Structure 1
């Protein structure tokens, strides 16, 4: 009797050992995490910029972190810069689509959105023109003296987002930044092409959606416009309550994100959008 029990115990342990070895081999072959999450990254036959956007329009998003004691000087220098760019609009092939101050998020931070026509060929012309301009050099010197740091990105607009419409009245803007896992931009675009129709159908709050070309790669920027913080709350709650597919879209896009941030901004008096 004791011998039979011993044989059954040995057989059980051997069976467990075989199953553990088999699992271990699979993990070694596919990688530990791929054995748990067997999600495949879509193979790309071309750059995602060809699939998701019109490359003739280049957007530049610049962020300035200003010294607290230099705010007035910075605003004056920024107004001079916009005046210079407007006076040379035909040469620079572009215009400003918003000048904002962050009120919730990084303090003493300003965000500026520019759009240039003609793709990178005209961007090259802009670089050469600005490098030779003494007026621009003087304005930039004034701006730089006010800054703690600065950052810029070249971006493309998602084709499924509506064209930018300048706003009037008094509004707030939310800048949402998504840092995606490499290789997931097309998948993100497929889901958000559906999502943008839901979010923009009633409230018309979508301002611009872009993805990075140069700077922080696999970085997405969504800018939303609301009449107030309360209107933002109502708009966000409405889509959860009235759009049955919204939960599914969120569930599928969240795993694509490595990091996300949100900032609330207000337009400056000199901003083209209000």
Structure 2
């Protein structure tokens, strides 16, 4: 479906959860704004192969959650790349009304964090679980993740970012993801 141009959708990546909500898959799709989202849904639902595909897929799915998100302007999503390893998806539910403040601190903090590691992207939910922020990181393995996260604390500005953003957060979640064979970012 993603390869059909009329669907106006780009698959950023697909991953299965290794640690966290097991037996769960995460797919990140880019649409051409809301118009592209609606056009994509319409095109997919009217594709002749869709009813059989949808019927088979529903036999495999226990539950499904969808959010419409926007990427942060200061952290554009990485283009397709194949680096191997694993990914960490970190999700934060903020107290209502704190998104702008969180973004302001993370703009500065990301500069510090980029000295030791590069993220894949960051998004905030506009429709779905509101006040939620997600960011995705890629590592060779869990040991590299540990080392890079420890190195972050020695970079000026990172500790201050954490200190200022933690009070804005209601809940935090971390999942370790393994890319599916067809994932564009893997």
Into which bin does the TM-score normalised by the smaller protein fall?
over 0.9
- Tell me how far apart the structure 2 counterparts of residues 185 and 172 of structure 1 sit (CA, whole Å): 28
- Tell me how far apart the structure 2 counterparts of residues 178 and 129 of structure 1 sit (CA, whole Å): 33
Tell whether 2:162 aligns with 1:250: yes
The structure with the largest helix share of the pair is 1
Task: Please report the RMSD computed on the Cα atoms of aligned residues, expressed in angstroms.
Answer: 1.3
Tell whether 2:93 aligns with 1:176: no
Cα-to-partner distance string for 1:3-24 (whole Å, 9 max, x where unaligned): xxxxxxxxxxxxxxxxxxxxxx
Q: CA deviation at 1:138?
A: 1.6
Contact 1:98 1:273 in 2 (8 A): yes
What is the match of residue 273 of structure 1?
A: 185
- Tell me how far apart the structure 2 counterparts of residues 167 and 266 of structure 1 sit (CA, whole Å): 14
Tell whether 2:146 aligns with 1:233: yes
Contact 1:158 1:210 in 2 (8 A): yes
Contact 1:100 1:271 in 2 (8 A): yes
User: 1:34-183 to 2 correspondence within 5 Å?
Assistant: 84-86=1-3, 88=4, 90-117=5-32, 119-183=33-97
Cα-to-partner distance string for 1:194-227 (whole Å, 9 max, x where unaligned): 11111123432x0010000111001100101111
Gaps of 5+ in 1: 1-83
- Tell me how far apart the structure 2 counterparts of residues 137 and 218 of structure 1 sit (CA, whole Å): 34
TM-score, structure 1 as length reference: 0.65
With CA pairs under 8 Å and 6+ residues apart, which has the higher RCO, 1 or 2?
2
Contact 1:92 1:116 in 2 (8 A): no
Gaps of 5+ in 2: none
Q: CA deviation at 1:170?
A: 1.8
TM-score, structure 2 as length reference: 0.94
Q: CA deviation at 1:144?
A: 1.1
- Tell me how far apart the structure 1 counterparts of residues 120 and 144 of structure 2 sit (CA, whole Å): 15
Contact 2:86 2:138 in 1 (8 A): yes
Cα-to-partner distance string for 1:21-67 (whole Å, 9 max, x where unaligned): xxxxxxxxxxxxxxxxxxxxxxxxxxxxxxxxxxxxxxxxxxxxxxx
The structure with the largest alpha-carbon Rg is 1
Contact 2:9 2:36 in 1 (8 A): no
